[in-house]
Structure 1
Amino acid sequence: MARLKDKIALVTGSAAGIGLATIERLAAEGAHVYVTDVDGAGAEKAAAALVAKGLHATAMTVDVSRGQDVTALVRAIEQQHGRLDVVVNNAGINVRTDFRNMSDADWVRLREVNLDGMVRIARDTFPLMKASGKASLINLASIMGHRGMRTLAAYGATKGAMSALTRGLAVEYAPFGIRVNALAPGFIETALTERVLRIEAFSKALLEQTPLRRFGSGEDVANAVLFFASDESAYITGAELAIDGGMQAAL
């Protein structure tokens, strides 16, 4: 199927992990994807791999915490296509630390990437999404925005704010034909989670809390992104879908 034929899609943080799986899925469905990441070389490699398969991709080095990077990205897309049909706010970082010992620098960095970056992308791409007439904005939140876990309080706060902003933007952007939804992944096997998931006792405890008894994959999340990006979800906005193997349901 080509559910996104001729669509223009932007995915932040898409050189690896969930972002990489997402651009591969969207491009395979016919979209021209903008592969953006602070790792410019990684973004170029990912885009080149798609082009080699006969798919459409453009790579750009973008740090979402830097306003000038986002401005340059928006200008480039405006000049080349004049619209955005799909925007996926995926770029994010994590700083695992006891909250009582967290430095100001760590908190600022978390906020700048996870929250300020999402705000900047959602705001600055608005004219391009409006030009689409029926765009879809998809924010990658987290189940950590809804549950507590040691060393993840600050990370969870940024993701909880992302969930709240999703609901607000769904109402604010609806008159312009823009749908806004969020995904809340649980523990997905990526480079971001590798360090903790390889701790046997920790992994075992998490799996015991997960009814499906496995961790998620980037493809699991990418499939949900595709649903929200496509017309199959045309009457859904302001929603958040947990991709967590049932972890939240089991609480």
Structure 2
Amino acid sequence: MCTVTWWRSGEGVYGVLFNRDEQRTRPRSLPVAAFSDPGGTDFVCARDGAAGGTWLMGNAHGVCVGVLNHYEAAGVLPPGERSRGELPVLFAAARSVDDVEERLPGMSPERYAPFLLVAWDGLEERCWQWDGRALARRTPKCALLTTSSVRSSEVVAWRERRHAESAAEGEAERAGATGLEAPRWLERFHTDTAHADGAFNVLMARVDARTESVCRIVVDSVSVRYRHSRRPANPALADETFEAMVARY
């Protein structure tokens, strides 16, 4: 039930935007903060208010890792014995996308329900899927991954189409971009509510679930900056925004 996109502006600068969708009954996310892993690597992430895991992490080496539920494979499989929110932090010390891939076998994917894992560094991004049987590379159609537990194929197709339309509409804005912030069209995409059925929208809203937060990471040669906008249960209220950063090594 999440959506992640990414952008690059050259010289290793890149950003990730992540809409975290959750059940309305689940506790709210905890504000983003900086941490250190057992080996001393600094990283930054927001955390789930129930299980304590995360959906998006960025570390001082300039590596980001995110996880989404893989609903296409999850229907007939039992839930995992461990929370998928543990996964990004398992790679908190990774120095590159290659390093993430080298560490994958040691995470024992069979302990988790199906997932999509994506990692970024200053040069590239890479995605893998665990379908409950095999862990394999996955190639996204574009700089977008999105999932839905309801009418999955229809919802994914709608969001992919909206992403392409938004990118085309934003072409004229590219000349004014600073390179150190997300393109305005991409920010708009993450708050898109164009569909009459809220389940289809990137800023998702259903009776049982909704987009709980919108997170943004910007990575450059100096720092990893994380902005966590937590959406209130009452749509009439303003978002709560928290920020944290770690310096690059």
TM-score for both structures, normalised by structure 1: 0.30
Per residue, is there more strand in 1 or in 2? 2
Which structure has more RCO (C-alpha within 8 Å, separation ≥ 6)?
2
Per residue, is there more helix in 1 or in 2? 1
